[in-house]
Amino acid sequence: MNSKRPTGINFRTTHGIVPALDSPDLDEVRRVVEASTGVEGVVAYKLGLTMVLRYGLAEAVRVLREVTELPILYDHQKAGPDVPDMAGKFCALAREAGVDGLILFPLAGPNAVDGFAGGAIEHGLLPVVGGDLPLPDYNVAGGGYVADDALERIFERAADIGTRDFIVPGHKAEKVRRHAEWLQANVQAPRLFIPGIGALGGTIEGTFAAAEGCHTYAVVGRAVYAADNPGEAARMLAGQALQFT
């Protein structure tokens, strides 16, 4: 088991949800965060390109910091499939902007894993590493372009340099279970982030049960930010997740 540990974030619960702030509307994002930041089981927020393209990364972070102290994970949709030379620049700019962690899909190869995940660690950021999407035609077996074992190889390399936070899509519980078992055997106190809940086919109950032994967090978007009452929606989903603590 690898004992290396990167600069980390201590999430306030071992199981919970990470609302994805995918709306380009600043007032709507602020409303969602204000309504959910105090909900038990909401542990962080995922900031994506919708706000960042409109306002810039530093400004988006500044606005969020007015209404929450929870960690902000920046998803560059998806950083990592790039030449390793870009990794240090990207991580330095993200750190300067004030994010706490980066969601990374280093599909460009082992050097990209080292550059982007390792670069995040060097800049005091939390690398959350993935490489798979909950789409039927993503992998070669489904007619896509990404090797079927790509995620396994990415995880092995990332774990070797000290990553403990990983992403596995939640549309197939057996895939979650397989990766969770490997992570428990090879990573100290692994944490698993699971998108693909709801409209894309996964459920908190099914995926969290499959990830038994890992600290587990559902990444949820429209189910929270598009809800009439985002605070209540977050409370309901977080309550489901907290049953596994």
Q: What is the pLDDT of residues 91-145, one digit of tens each?
A: 999 999 999 999 999 999 999 999 999 999 999 999 999 999 988 899 999 999 9
Residue 198 near residue 222, CB atoms below 8 Å: yes
* pLDDT of 90: 96
**For the chain, what is the domain count?**
1
Q: How many helices (H) and strands (E) does the chain have?
A: 11, 8
Q: Does position 1 have pLDDT exceeding 60, yes or no? A: no
For residue 7, being part of any structural domain is answered with no
pTM of the model: 0.93
For residue 5, being part of any structural domain is answered with no
Range of the domain at 66: 15-242
For residue 35, being part of any structural domain is answered with yes
**CATH code, 108:** 3.20.20.70
Could you tell me which residues are beta bridge partners of residue 74? 47, 102
For residue 9, being part of any structural domain is answered with no
For residue 238, being part of any structural domain is answered with yes
> Band of the pLDDT at 201, cuts 50, 70, 90?
low
For residue 1, being part of any structural domain is answered with no
For residue 51, being part of any structural domain is answered with yes
Residue 115 near residue 87, CB atoms below 8 Å: yes
